[in-house]
Structure 1
Amino acid sequence: MTSSLPPLAPSEVEGNSAEGSVPRHVAIIMDGNGRWAIRRSLPRVAGHRAGAEAVRRTMQAAVDSGVEVLTLYAFSSENWRRSEDEVSDLKGLMRFYLERELGTLQKEKVRLRLIGEPAAFGNELYERLQQAVEETRDNDRLTLVVALNYGSQGEIAGAAKALARAARDGALDPETIDIAAIEGLLHTCDLPPLDLLIRTSGEVRLSNFLLWQAAYAELHFVDTLWPDFDEAAFNSALGEFARRQRRFGGR
């Protein structure tokens, strides 16, 4: 599915201040659901359910603030290492969220987009996800990108393999491979460049999320556990973004 949002090249804004601006594309590593539950002597699935409420609040805050794209790290390719029960709970929560929130997506004119390899969740859930993507495809107020079974290193390796195959088959001169050629094969190729990446829970790392895309993104780390993240926290991150000088290595 092709996005109607034209990418904004860094050269168009290089050297400019972000003062007073709203990021076009915000991504969030939603971390801390398990710790939130443990601190309350609750099962981990309770933390994931509370985290789903934080998704709803954050999505609404993004819509209200004028953000064009919100990308959420929902399930990494490494999350399969978790217990079978927890993975099953996460799948059930996805089904529940789709059934409950599809109406909200339509009402707020939010388009759902998936990146990663969601087919690994099985035919039933994958078909429901694809149906939600199709039903919301014409919405244009916010694009909600959900990363499912996603890993950035695998994404980049996949782009490299595609270029290598093209070169092997004589369809591509290796000397012509540049940044644009790689970006054109990433899952986010038709989205605006990433402006702001937020991580909750006090961890200060990217955890294999949008590694290429984050090259010149502003990074914002907060101690708040994801289930406690709310509109005020999101707006605070936008405020911090607006105060930063974005130089893109120019000076």
Structure 2
Amino acid sequence: MTSPAPLARHVAIIMDGNGRWAKQRHLPRVVGHQRGVEAVRELVRAAREMGLEALTLYAFSTENWRRPEDEVSALMGLLRRYIIADLDEFVANNVKLRIIGNYQALAPDLVALIEDALGKTAHNDGTTLVIALNYGAQDEIARAAAKAAAKGPITPESIEAELDTAGLPPLDLMIRTSGEVRLSNFLLWQAAYAEMWFTDVLWPDFKPAHLAEALAQFANRERRYGGR
């Protein structure tokens, strides 16, 4: 016998469609990314108001380095501006920032900005905003398994303790925008029993109402975890 799922504690989003949004409007791709940042800003505020414990956003994957150099540079510039512009709001609204992935490999000035933001929000205990930055799930699992093996027997529990997401609530709901229906090397371990919600809405057009819709559908699903 199963019971209705509780409210989601941890939601992850693959923010897809910035480029297509710009192309549909005959605008440069960077404009799509700029509008995508505005969507992030709205969603973070909404997540806090909706009481989410953790919101994980796929900002830049290990594969994204293959994009044109000017686009990568623009994305990093937007990240810098987002951190600078929103850090005071994170502090004021009790949002805790956390980064998963190898952000230390980024430009030194960006690493310094990130570490300053991590330090200034470290003691906040409201919604945790998790940014996946220079992140790939296969790399994460390989790193976690190596760390677990160095400490003793490899078990699901020992690997999970070494994941970048250790200490966060289990992933409840994975959302992907833009009509694509794949995980793209994002939170592969964590998504083992997460519910999935796919939408055709392009990321710059994704609003708090869409998040509310996804959460409402989640609340009406039954989670069996392999049982009946």
For this structure pair, what is the TM-score category when the shorter chain's length is used for normalisation?
Answer: over 0.9
- Give, as a single letter, the amino acid of the residue that structure 2 aligns with 1:202: G
Matched with 1:231 is: 208
Aligned length: 228
Deviation at 1:117, TM superposition (A): 0.4
Matched with 1:16 is: 3
2:189 to 212, 215, 229: 212
User: 1:28-47 maps to which residues of 2 (within 5 A)?
Assistant: 28-47=13-32
Alpha-carbon distance in 2 for matches of 1:228, 1:103: 25
Q: Structure 2 length as normaliser, TM-score?
A: 0.97
Structure 1, residues 187-245: CA drift from partner, whole Å, max 9, x if none?
Answer: 01111100000000000000000000000000000000000000100100001101101
Secondary structure of 2:144's partner? Answer: helix
Answer yes or no: is the 8 Å Cα contact 1:200–1:222 preserved in 2.
yes
Matched with 1:240 is: 217
Matched with 1:100 is: 85
- Give, as a single letter, the amino acid of the residue that structure 1 aligns with 2:195: E
Alpha-carbon distance in 2 for matches of 1:117, 1:198: 23
Q: Does 1:110 align with 2:87?
A: no
Answer yes or no: is the 8 Å Cα contact 1:15–1:248 preserved in 2.
no
User: 1:11-160 maps to which residues of 2 (within 5 A)?
Assistant: 15-18=2-5, 21-160=6-145
Alpha-carbon distance in 1 for matches of 2:2, 2:91: 38
Structure 2, unpaired ranges of 5+: none
Alpha-carbon distance in 2 for matches of 1:44, 1:58: 21
Deviation at 1:109, TM superposition (A): 1.1
Secondary structure of 1:78's partner? Answer: helix
Answer yes or no: is the 8 Å Cα contact 1:22–1:66 preserved in 2.
no
Deviation at 1:59, TM superposition (A): 0.8
Query: Root-mean-square deviation (CA), in Å?
Result: 1.2
Structure 1, unpaired ranges of 5+: 1-13
Alpha-carbon distance in 2 for matches of 1:16, 1:73: 31
Which runs of 4 or more aligned residues in structure 1 lie more than 4 Å from their structure 2 counterparts after TM superposition? none
Structure 1, residues 125-168: CA drift from partner, whole Å, max 9, x if none?
Answer: 0110110011011111100000000000011111222234x2xx
Structure 1, residues 51-80: CA drift from partner, whole Å, max 9, x if none?
Answer: 001001111111111110000000000000
- Give, as a single letter, the amino acid of the residue that structure 2 aligns with 1:32: G
Q: Structure 1 length as normaliser, TM-score?
A: 0.88
Deviation at 1:182, TM superposition (A): 0.8
Deviation at 1:87, TM superposition (A): 0.4
Bigger CA radius of gyration: 1
- Give, as a single letter, the amino acid of the residue that structure 2 aligns with 1:222: T
Secondary structure of 2:157's partner? Answer: helix
More displaced, 44-53 or 104-113? 104-113
Alpha-carbon distance in 1 for matches of 2:226, 2:34: 41
- Give, as a single letter, the amino acid of the residue that structure 1 aligns with 2:7: V
